[in-house]
Amino acid sequence: MHLGAGIRAAQRLHGGDISDTFRLDTTRGPFVLKTSPQKAGRRLPDGFYAAEAHGLGLLRPAPLVTPDVIAHGSGPAGQPYLLLSWLPPGEDTPAAQDALGRGLAALHARPAPGFGGLPDNYFASLPQRNPPAASAAGFFWTARLEPLLTRERLHLTPRDRAGFDTLRERLPDLVPPEPPALVHGDLWHGNVHYTPRGPALIDPAVGFSHREVDVAALRLFGGVPRRVFQAYHEAYPLADGWKARAALWNLYPLLAHLLLFGEGYLGRTREALHAALNPR
């Protein structure tokens, strides 16, 4: 990696379970460096940062800010890295929240060629397939839920799996028809930053999918004010029942968390499956 600048200081940044992340203060200004954790031999899969860079590129141009990709590759010891522009922090104001809602609506309104059809990438450290599909429901099952349900260590009982079998059968009727949209794919509140230039999105897991995927993710762990959703709905109205369907879309990140972090997420996954099958 060659910055073309001298590094004056490096500061580890908090947050995230996948990468070791640092702010580099250089003679050319600040940058963000993400690299593979060197813990008990743990390494990120090949192509991980290339996929993230590709996702950031797809999100631009958009009304929302994304960091510039400066470089990615392998360091002197062979560890992968991603070098990004630094996004200075801004204020989380009502105006910024409105801008987030409107900007996300504008991103989702951009025409997409179809469901799926992008290069495969990653959700957290899990491989994420993006095959073409004829519908949002078909894509969500075959490219998102089914690959995780075939994995071991999910702690699911036969009753849980029977519930997912029922969901598979009912999914086409549960998903409202929408044109395909480019979605961030992992839009919990930790992947939204407020900057002086406006709201910013980081760490994408992009796909051409149903736009409610992103709207639901913003509700998964809280921390996103109501006015963000109001601004989104005013700019690009959501179909009736979108709040109830959040449980359906959030089955994917919940299954991923169950696989990555263990059965502490089992109860919430079961609750989401019940709510998805019994929308109100």
Active site residues: 186
**By CB neighbour count within 10 A (0-12 exposed, 13-18 middle, 19+ buried), where does 274 fall?**
exposed
Q: What is the 3-state secondary structure (H, E, C) of 51-86?
A: HHHHHHHHCCCCCCECCCEEEEEECCCCCEEEEEEC
Distance of CA 39 to the CA centre of its chain: 24
Question: Strands 126-128, 80-85: parallel, antiparallel or unpaired by DSSP?
Answer: unpaired
What is the C-alpha to C-alpha distance for residues 88 and 158, in angstroms, rounded to an integer? Answer: 49
- The pair of structure tokens assigned to 9 is 């200081």
Token representation of residue 13: 């940044």
